[in-house]
Chain A
Amino acid sequence: MTQYLVKEGVKNLIHPDEQLITTHCCYCGMQCGMHIRVHKKTGKVVGVEPRYDWPVTRGKMCPKGVTAYQTIEHKDRILRPLIKKNGKFVEASWEEALDLIEKNFKRIQAEYGKDALAVFGGVSMTNEKCYLVGKYARVALGTRFIDYNGRFCMSSAAGGFLKTLGIDRGSTLPWTELEHTDCFFMAGTNTAECHPTSIQWFWRAKDKGAKLIVADPRETPTARVADVHLDLKPGTDSALANGIMHLLIKEGYVDEEYVNERCNNYEELKAMVEKFTPEYTAKITGVAPEKIVKAAHIYGRSPRSVVMFARGAEQQSKGVDNVSLYTSMALLRGQIGKFASGVATFTGQGNGQGGREHGQKSDLLPGYRKITDPEAVKYISSIWGIKPEDMPGPGVSAYEMFDEIHKGTIRAMHVICSNPAVSAPNLEYIWEGLRKLDFLVVNDFFLSETAEFADVVLPATTWAEDEGTTTNLEGRVIRIRKVREPLGEAKPDWMILSKIAERMGKGKHFQYNSAREIFDELRLASKGGKADYYGITYERIDKEDGVFWPCPSEDHPGTPTMFKEKFGTPDGKANLAVVDWEPAGEEPTEEYPHYLTTGRVVFHYLSGNQTRRVDFLKEQCPVPYAEMHPELASQYRLSNGDLVKLTTKRSSMVLEVRLTKAIRKDTVFVPYHWGKELAVNQLTSACLDPVSRMPEFKVCAVKLEKVSAKEVKAQ
């Protein structure tokens, strides 16, 4: 089978001594199509070639995508297992490493019980791997403590969608339709920087006159091109959404027929938003009332609109409320389930969608089945070949696993495809937890900040050394191809997990020779669930440019548009959200008078463990900084390039000041991609959303002090 896929008439530059392999980017949820250039004779990766005919991204890539191939043969790759001896890592054989893991896992479980082991997964890897992580925790280790880094990323979107629509699929429509949309309402998303290749769709729509409304405390590159920029205070999204709905109702923009037929709670919602007049909303959000009115009119009158949001609205202790309310805005306008309209979240991680569907979450089994549902447990047990009574119960969320470590319940942890030592909030607590562990195993291909705490580091492969599938932010299942053989002794995560399973005496449940075999098992495991992959095959993905789930059988076309006839709730009706605004977990006080919010820059991905090692990206953005308005800065006599000490209730750090008027005067912004003393997550608040257990990365209260370089050195 050919590895280079391209439609007729599309030209690529192919050097005679090279071969192109068709795949997707390893980073964000856009999953941009690309070809990787491989030297035929040596099998080495030499570069990247645009994939012009991938329908979602059309050859376009952000700088991370362009340079992604450079991580594959990077000099920092871990090529052999590492074991910590006397505080230093030394190389070891796989046998030695596995022996040590077996010994410690068995000892700890014998002494403290099965649940003394925990698994911390991630979703920047294929569906096959994500699926296996869930099975590994429950079958191989038999622990109930499994959760994943999606809790720091998309879990509020999942919670909100589940509550309102009954099924959590990141986008209710395929994004190739976006160019026909008349209005985008975007909240808490800096998509121009975080999902850059999506911007082509918004521009294309704008070229035809579409309107863009952006709610963000900063005038980001996305907000800059907006028609209305709602510059709200951090943590006031629910007030803004209620305020817009107040106006939609008052001005008669509600699609009454749709709402009566397809939604619950309309009367209750009306009563709730009654008080959210533009003036009242303005008082809470800090946005001028005229702007709110303008936005509501534009949004209310546009025939086809899409409401979109991302981490800005989700990473709050009211994340689920925010998502439900924004989704309700789309419902009031009768938009969901129709052409070029609906609601969508910008999934952050490459496989943030697929990775959360198949059992990495503490309370879920493959196909979005609930672990508390005996029928689901029975079905999955039969696929996995275990007794239903051996299925562990639900565990706790990612951050709460660290509470369990501090309590002494969790004694050992296996971290796979994640770097909580950078990405979790309130980092000092996390670091202390990692130190407290009896035994820590980390799979990674670069020595991450988390891996530095480990007792054993296992060399995993990059995305390009294994095949599999991911599910992009539309819900389209796509194919990742193997570009080259694994470097050194690195192994794909599924192989590593299978080997440990064997050591734990569960080898017979993990007999896989290839990722494809795991995918076939996953298809079966998801069959009949909400996220049904049963009808999806590798061949269909190639032929059809990806397949949208749910796809219950091989002759089913897949589901690009969700909820055309009914919603995923038991009664088939959407539940409009009836929730009041409540203040964030931490609001500014006299001592900590300003807001601190965190986010990303275009040059780095998540905890930066990969992108901080790529020359171009490092040159463009080597260190974090504190972005603030000159008016705020002048109160502290700070000018561009000065050092400022940021202090929150948890910790403090020193950063360089970067002045711009493109931010609210009461808010300081710091990007989060760095570890150790450069990690802004030392300062962030661990106040969790009650439903999604998402920490509040986007809002906390901060104090500013000017410091000199001398003072910093003296410390």
Chain B
Amino acid sequence: MRKIMYLEFERCIGCRSCQAACRECGGHEAKERNYVEYVDFMESRQTYPMLCMQCKDPACARVCPANAIQITEEGVVLSAMEEKCIGCRNCTFGCPFGIPKFDFEANKMYKCDMCYDRSKYDIAPMCASVCPSDAIRFIDFDEMQALRRRRAQMNLVEGKKPQEGNKWEYVPEFFGVYTD
């Protein structure tokens, strides 16, 4: 697998399709493993999605006393192994992003596994597949780098990043300078 998950929070429109789709992944037992929150509903409708960062040295796996959280050869941090998870919930506290969730009925944790049954074949995970705004993307590493560079380029052209409430004042009134 050469692809990565790429998040662009400001694109998110808060539709929670990623959450609905997460439940649809074959291995997910109809439980979603990602979440979408309002930044501040009182101020604006801006939302952001959050899913597993698939850390190189994952806090959840590090704090697991039972070694239940496995990392695949591609680097995907899997959900806890059924037979190993002792239900101590360390992982849910350890993760800085609040990703591992706990199923009290089954007494085990569950988390985002990047839809491993799809991504291992290079098929996009469900959330990235459906996300209407491309806030979540499943792309090549190189493509991600290009996107990063493009951002810097856009900021240069626009000069100023818009501020809350007076965004329209900063809109340049010319075209074609940075279109393809």
Contact = CB atoms under 8 A, between A and B. Distances in A.
Given A224-B45, A298-B173, A66 B26 contact: no
Contacts of A200: 132-134
Contacts of A620: 16
B17 interface: yes
Interface string B126-168: 1001111110000000000000001000100100000000011
Contacts of A52: 124, 129
A50 B10 CA distance: 24
Contact of B175 (A222, A302, A603, A659): A302
B41 interface: yes
Contacts of A384: none
B106 interface: no
A660 B15 contact: no
A291 interface: yes
Interface string A198-219: 1110011001110100000001
B129 A193 contact: no
Interface stretch (A9-17, A145-153, A272-280, A489-497): A9-17
A61 interface: yes
A209 B176 CA distance: 8
Contacts of B179: 182, 208-209
A353 B157 CA distance: 40
A248 to B, nearest CB: 14
A122 B130 CA distance: 28
Contacts of B74: none
A651 interface: no
Interface string A287-323: 0000100110110011100000000000000000000
B24 A196 contact: no
Contact of B43 (A12, A198, A661): A661
Contact of B44 (A199, A617, A662): A662
B121 interface: yes
Given A203-B11, A203-B134, A224-B44, A66 B24 contact: yes
A660 B134 CA distance: 26
A602 interface: yes
B132 A60 contact: yes
A303 B130 contact: no
* Secondary structure dominating the interface of A: mixed
Contacts of B42: 630, 659-661
B132 A62 contact: yes
B168 A291 contact: yes
Given A62-B17, A63-B15, A208-B180, A15 B132 contact: no
Contact of A227 (B126, B134, B167, B178): B167
A59 interface: yes
B94 to A, nearest CB: 27
B15 A13 contact: no
B13 interface: yes
* Secondary structure dominating the interface of B: loop
A154 B13 CA distance: 24
B23 interface: yes
Contact of A59 (B130, B168, B169, B177): B130
B78 to A, nearest CB: 17
B163 to A, nearest CB: 13
Contacts of B130: 50, 59-62, 65-66
B171 A13 contact: no
Contacts of B176: 182, 303
Contacts of A199: 13, 132-133
Residue with the greatest number of chain A CB neighbours at <10 A, chosen from B10, B17, B118: B17
A264 interface: no
B133 to A, nearest CB: 5
Contacts of B34: none
Contacts of A11: 121-123
Contacts of B59: none
Contact of A220 (B26, B45, B150, B173): B45
A63 B20 contact: yes
A219 B43 CA distance: 10
B104 interface: no
A645 B45 CA distance: 25
A196 B131 CA distance: 9
Contacts of A47: 24
A50 to B, nearest CB: 4
Contacts of B167: 226-229
A602 B123 contact: no
A221 interface: yes
B129 A219 contact: no
25 contacts: A11-B123, A13-B117, A59-B130, A60-B129, A62-B132, A66-B130, A192-B13, A200-B134, A203-B133, A203-B134, A208-B180, A209-B178, A219-B44, A220-B45, A227-B168, A228-B168, A229-B167, A229-B168, A291-B168, A297-B173, A616-B23, A659-B42, A660-B41, A660-B44, A662-B45
Given A61-B17, A182-B179, A616-B20, 18 more contacts: A11-B122, A13-B121, A13-B123, A47-B24, A60-B17, A63-B15, A63-B20, A66-B17, A192-B13, A204-B134, A207-B154, A209-B154, A211-B171, A228-B171, A301-B175, A602-B16, A616-B23, A620-B16
Closest A-B pairs by Cβ, 6 of them: A63-B20, A192-B13, A228-B168, A50-B129, A66-B20, A196-B132
